[in-house]
């Protein structure tokens, strides 16, 4: 599994370097909108349908206060509007970086 070697906020982007030397830069606004937590992305109902909720993003919601490694496979991001339930797996982050 890929290890995260380094993480830093540079301007309005989160820069990540992984153990295989891949470097990615993710705009903070895009990261917040892509927050994978249930409150942001919705949970499937009994029939498996996912209704996407309207994301509540506060005034400082695109400001990243800090991040914490989770179990060696993910980052938990702490946003300045108090939102911090999103656990971004390294895999997910790398896929986000491939989006146009
Ligand atoms: Zn969220």
Cα of 74 from ligand 1 centre, angstroms: 15
Cα of 23 from ligand 1 centre, angstroms: 24
All residues with CB under 5 Å from ion ligand 1 = 35, 37, 40, 86
Q: Give the model confidence (pLDDT) of 17-70 as tens digits.
A: 999 999 999 999 999 999 999 999 998 888 889 888 889 999 899 999 999 999
Q: How is residue 6 annotated by DSSP? A: E
Q: Which of 42, 83, 76 minimizes the C-alpha distance to 60?
A: 83
CATH topology of domain 4-97: NE0471 N-terminal domain-like (3.30.2020)
What is the value of pTM for the model shown?
A: 0.89
Q: Give the model confidence (pLDDT) of 1-17 as tens digits.
A: 679 999 999 999 999 99
- Report the SS3 class of residue 69: strand
Domain ranges of the chain: 4-97
């Amino acid at each position: 599994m890929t290890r995260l070697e380094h993480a830093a906020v540079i301007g309005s982007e989160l820069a990540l370097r992984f153990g295989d030397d891949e470097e990615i830069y993710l705009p903070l606004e895009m990261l917040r909108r892509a927050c994978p937590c249930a409150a942001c992305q919705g949970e499937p109902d009994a029939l498996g349908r996912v209704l996407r909720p309207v994301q509540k993003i506060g005034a400082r919601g695109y400001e990243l206060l800090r991040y914490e490694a989770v179990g060696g496979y993910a980052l938990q991001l702490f946003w300045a509007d108090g939102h911090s339930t999103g656990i971004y797996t390294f895999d997910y982050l790398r896929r986000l970086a491939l989006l146009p």
